[in-house]
Amino acid sequence: MSSIELLPFQARAAQQIVNRFHKLLSDPMRPMVHKNWEVPFYQALSALTGAGKTAILADAVGQIRATLPVEPIVLWISKAKAVVDQTYSNFEPGGKYIHLIDPFTVGYLSELTPEAIGDGTTPFLVLTTVGAFNDRKKSDGTLRVHQIKQDKGKSSLWTALTTRKTGSGERRPLIVVYDEGHNLADQQVDFLFELEPDAILVASATLSTPGKLGKMIDRLKDHGWSDEALDDTKEETLSCLVTAVSSKAVVDHGLVKRQIVLGGYTSIMETMLDDMMQTIEEASQKAKDLQAGFEPKAIYVCQTNKSQEDGSMDLPSKPFEQRKAPPILIWRYLVDQKKIDPESIAVYCDLKFDRGEHPPPPDFKLFSGGEQDFSAFTAGNYKHIIFNQSLQEGWDDPAVCCAYIDKSMGSGIQVEQVIGRVLRQPGAKHLPDPDLNTASFFIRVDNKQEFPKILKTVQKKLGADMPEVKIDGYIDPKDRQRAHQTPKKKKTIPEIHTDASDAVAPLKQAVTDLHDYTNDTKHTVGKGAIQQVEFQIGGGGKVDVIELDTPHSNRVMARWIMRREMLSLYPDVAKAIDWSDRRFDARIEITSPAAAALRKDAESIVDVYLDNSELMFEEENLYTVGAIHVNPHKAQHFDNALHDAYDLNPLELEVAEAIDATGLDWARNPVNGGYSIPLLHKGDNRRFFPDFLVWKDDLVFAIDPKGAHILLKDAGVKLLNIRDEKGQRKVLVRLIARGRWNDQVQCLNEKDGFTVFSVSKSTSKLKAQHVATVAKAVEAALKP
């Protein structure tokens, strides 16, 4: 579908930003910068690449807009033009985030006119690079936004944006969104502060903000706002300056790749590219076989004009075949030797040619970063992309699964930055073959000692941010081959569905019981924003400021409020509700008591759904065990497993050895991309990935040696009690915990043997069976 639904953690993060914005807005003691300007709301969104920062920020401004009495202007800033263009295409009709910012008219800052600013009926979202307004020579009007156009009156766009008064004299709210992790320079901040924004939203991983922006934030801190990244509770909206997204949620939802494999090569470029071509061909075939919905791509990162052999400068005056520029060498090898269609190769860098004497071949697709280049480049959907740092700054493509890093990049290459560009998982969904959840790097180094350093740096930097992404490295290319393990036998297991048939009647009742707010004018009204309005008093041009309490914020549909709440709790519930009930057409203000009541009702409905849902195995929907990735240095061979070897932690290894000894077919199930079972509870951890699958007669046992804690919730007990409509059992989940536990899931002695949790076949009650050894535990777990 064109629109991407927000995931629960994304919806929550956006909601938190909106709620905090309103907290400051309605604070009667909100500090002022000067007489006409209140200290802007500030919120840093701390999230990893791939977490959906753009989606969260877009949703946040969309909702802020819905709650403001005057249509706002959103100034969306990025550092690189490539990022601005990418964001623009996501916000255009047909783009993937259009539904989040739908009421906004989207355009570039340079297209905004003073007339449009004065038109208070249309919300605007305008995109720009920092460079478009950041210029010392502003008074000369060198940049378009600062220019005073002769035919457009006396003021420049920048001035009009600073005043931003509507025809009826109200000042339009201005929200600045800075879509980048890097800190803004003081000079850039100065320019932005000239606009006197009402809110500043920053996508930043660093929590310390130096300089002038930091000083502004200090005013909020003096006012009691904290830079701790705490989550709001249902009862309280906290005065915190940071909204943090958990990296685990990002990885668990399949938004980023599961694994990064770094290979260090001291061989020549040609050998490396051969290896890489083979990898990408295999991945392409798998993507085709698995209907993955994307075609794997490769990127080649190199210097533009410097030879990688001797560091000498390339000469554009030479014929194409004699050029030493790395992009040309790579291009020629791909086209001449590997017979790759030049139409599928893009070269994105500032490569010089003597167009008169020695032009490039006609099918050499060169993009040098001009105004139109990026859109032409993205439209071309190239499979091989040769580039330097200039594209690297902003561009990313989830379909990239291979990256070649040229020696010309030198030892200073920050591999972790390139990783950011390939980290996103295509379709935000892990696939059954691990190769399609992996980004492989082929790094050319001078000597083997250099590579461990690179690997260590990457592991340190990425490992801290996202310990859930596996980072492996190898120097011997053969290790790469050994890492990939395909199953020796085809084995299937029925997928688990959530059967909410029994919830239909109670859900219908719950909707019927909802209060009808369609004709309610009392509870649907919130305390709106305090708006400053400038009025000219008398005729002398004297400007004064009057504060008006505007009680009406924009109204939204009851349907939208409830659906959003469900999406942040358990999205499946929204699909089980018939939203065509007329009561959902009630118009409600977000800050009203009715909205608060409806959010509570939404949560009750989610509870009704979960209470009345069961897990069922479905024989018409089978999961087939696929290939996995293991670390060859830690791999342990097993005789009866579907794969030749696994790398396991100590407790897993103990259990695996005991399972292997039974002689039954079994497999280690990888987290994400592997077999999973829904967990019927609210929260981000919504799927359970059992560690081991064991086939015994016509049953499949899903065994997990570390999950006892989930039994404390109803969802855990339901997990152990999967049946079909006739009450038959097929997939049996068993949890093994170290120590002696009781039926109430309390650990009595953590050093005493093992406990196996299952549910009684007849009573469906949880039972804990204590045994002395791991072998006995596996034996008990495998009893039907």
Partner 1 sequence: MKRAITGERVTKEGKVIQRAEPLPGGFRFSKLTTKVDADAVLTLEREEMLDLLLTAHWDQRERAASHLRRLPAGEHAHLFAISARGEGFFLIWNGPDKPSILDRVAFRKIAEEAKAADLTAPYHVYARQLVYSGPNIEFYQIPDRILEKIGFNDAVQPYYADHEELEGDAA
Give the CA distances from residue 28 to residues 13, 23, 69, 530, in Å, rounded to whole numbers and listed in that order.
Answer: 25, 10, 18, 9
Interface with partner 1, residue 505, by CB under 8 A: no
User: Which residues in 142-171 contact partner 1 (CB under 8 A)?
Assistant: none
User: Which residues in 31-70 contact partner 1 (CB under 8 A)?
Assistant: 62, 66
Residue 624 CB-density burial (10 A; 0-12 exposed, 13-18 middle, 19+ buried): exposed
Interface with partner 1, residue 697, by CB under 8 A: no
Interface with partner 1, residue 500, by CB under 8 A: yes
Give the residue, chosen from 374, 377, 382, 623, that forms a contact with partner 1 under the rule CB under 8 A: 623
CB-based contact 77:176 (threshold 8 Å):
yes
- Contact region with partner 1 (CB under 8 A), list: 175-183, 188-196, 557-565, 699-707: 557-565
Q: Rounded distance, CA 39 to CA 716, Å?
A: 48
How many helices (H) and strands (E) would you count in the chain? 22, 35
To partner 1, the closest distance from the beta carbon of 378 in angstroms equals 12
To partner 1, the closest distance from the beta carbon of 541 in angstroms equals 32
The tokens of 360 are what?
């490039």
Could you say which DSSP state residue 367 is in?
E
As a whole number of Å, the end-to-end CA separation of the chain is 42
Q: Rounded distance, CA 784 to CA 729, Å?
A: 9
Alpha helices in 513-671 (DSSP H): 558-569, 572-576, 593-611, 650-661
Pairing of strands 614-624, 587-589: unpaired
- Contact region with partner 1 (CB under 8 A), list: 18-26, 619-627, 661-669, 737-745: 619-627
Sequence-separated (6 or more) residues with CB below 8 Å from residue 487: 625, 626, 627, 642, 643, 667
Interface with partner 1, residue 577, by CB under 8 A: yes
Interface with partner 1, residue 104, by CB under 8 A: no
Interface with partner 1, residue 563, by CB under 8 A: yes
561 vs 778, which CB is nearer to partner 1? 561
Interface with partner 1, residue 498, by CB under 8 A: yes
- Contact region with partner 1 (CB under 8 A), list: 94-102, 129-137, 218-226, 591-599: 94-102
User: Which residues in 709-748 contact partner 1 (CB under 8 A)?
Assistant: 725
83 vs 567, which CB is nearer to partner 1? 567
Tell me the site size for partner 1, rule CB under 8 A. Answer: 50
Interface with partner 1, residue 682, by CB under 8 A: no
To partner 1, the closest distance from the beta carbon of 741 in angstroms equals 31
Residues 263-302 as x/- pattern, contact with partner 1 by CB under 8 A: ----------------------------x-xx--------
Q: Rounded distance, CA 524 to CA 519, Å?
A: 9
- Contact region with partner 1 (CB under 8 A), list: 80-88, 489-497, 541-549, 634-642: 489-497
CB-based contact 775:658 (threshold 8 Å):
yes
Interface with partner 1, residue 341, by CB under 8 A: no
Give the residue, chosen from 30, 96, 338, 523, that forms a contact with partner 1 under the rule CB under 8 A: 96
To partner 1, the closest distance from the beta carbon of 674 in angstroms equals 12
Pairing of strands 400-405, 297-301: parallel
To partner 1, the closest distance from the beta carbon of 610 in angstroms equals 13
Pairing of strands 692-696, 687-688: unpaired
- Contact region with partner 1 (CB under 8 A), list: 38-46, 93-101, 200-208, 400-408: 93-101
CB-based contact 473:631 (threshold 8 Å):
no
The SS3 of residue 756 is strand
90 vs 204, which CB is nearer to partner 1? 90
Q: Rounded distance, CA 187 to CA 547, Å?
A: 31
- Contact region with partner 1 (CB under 8 A), list: 160-168, 433-441, 496-504, 744-752: 496-504
Interface with partner 1, residue 506, by CB under 8 A: no
Question: Among 292, 318, 294, 298, which residue's Cα sits nearest to residue 307?
Answer: 318
Give the residue, chosen from 180, 373, 433, 495, that forms a contact with partner 1 under the rule CB under 8 A: 495
Give the residue, chosen from 30, 99, 221, 324, that forms a contact with partner 1 under the rule CB under 8 A: 99
Give the residue, chosen from 31, 32, 36, 103, that forms a contact with partner 1 under the rule CB under 8 A: 103
What are 646's strand-pairing partners? 636
Interface with partner 1, residue 764, by CB under 8 A: no
Interface with partner 1, residue 548, by CB under 8 A: no
575 vs 765, which CB is nearer to partner 1? 575
Question: Would you say the C-alpha torsion 342, 343, 349, 352 has a positive or negative sign?
Answer: positive
The tokens of 187 are what?
């000079």
Give the CA distances from residue 314 to residues 152, 304, 351, 366, in Å, rounded to whole numbers and listed in that order.
Answer: 48, 9, 10, 17
Residue 732 phi/psi, 5-degree rounding, is -110, 115
Could you say which DSSP state residue 134 is in?
-
Interface with partner 1, residue 492, by CB under 8 A: no
What are 599's strand-pairing partners? none
Give the residue, chosen from 116, 205, 475, 557, that forms a contact with partner 1 under the rule CB under 8 A: 557
Interface with partner 1, residue 490, by CB under 8 A: no
Interface with partner 1, residue 511, by CB under 8 A: no
To partner 1, the closest distance from the beta carbon of 103 in angstroms equals 6
Interface with partner 1, residue 621, by CB under 8 A: yes
Pairing of strands 766-771, 747-759: antiparallel
CB-based contact 619:497 (threshold 8 Å):
no
CB-based contact 408:303 (threshold 8 Å):
yes
Interface with partner 1, residue 1, by CB under 8 A: yes
Give the residue, chosen from 33, 36, 102, 516, that forms a contact with partner 1 under the rule CB under 8 A: 102
Residue 583 phi/psi, 5-degree rounding, is -65, -25
- Contact region with partner 1 (CB under 8 A), list: 50-58, 270-278, 570-578, 727-735: 570-578
Interface with partner 1, residue 339, by CB under 8 A: no
The tokens of 572 are what?
């499946």
The tokens of 531 are what?
């708006």
Question: Among 335, 329, 322, 342, which residue's Cα sits nearest to residue 303?
Answer: 329
Interface with partner 1, residue 14, by CB under 8 A: no
To partner 1, the closest distance from the beta carbon of 680 in angstroms equals 11
Give the residue, chosen from 337, 486, 492, 501, that forms a contact with partner 1 under the rule CB under 8 A: 501
Q: Rounded distance, CA 311 to CA 773, Å?
A: 63
**What is the length of the chain?**
784
88 vs 741, which CB is nearer to partner 1? 88
Interface with partner 1, residue 382, by CB under 8 A: no
Give the residues lining the site for partner 1 (CB under 8 A). 1-3, 62, 66, 94-96, 99, 102-103, 291, 293-294, 427, 495-501, 503-504, 518, 554-557, 559-560, 563, 572, 575-580, 582, 584-585, 587, 616, 618, 620-621, 623, 678, 725
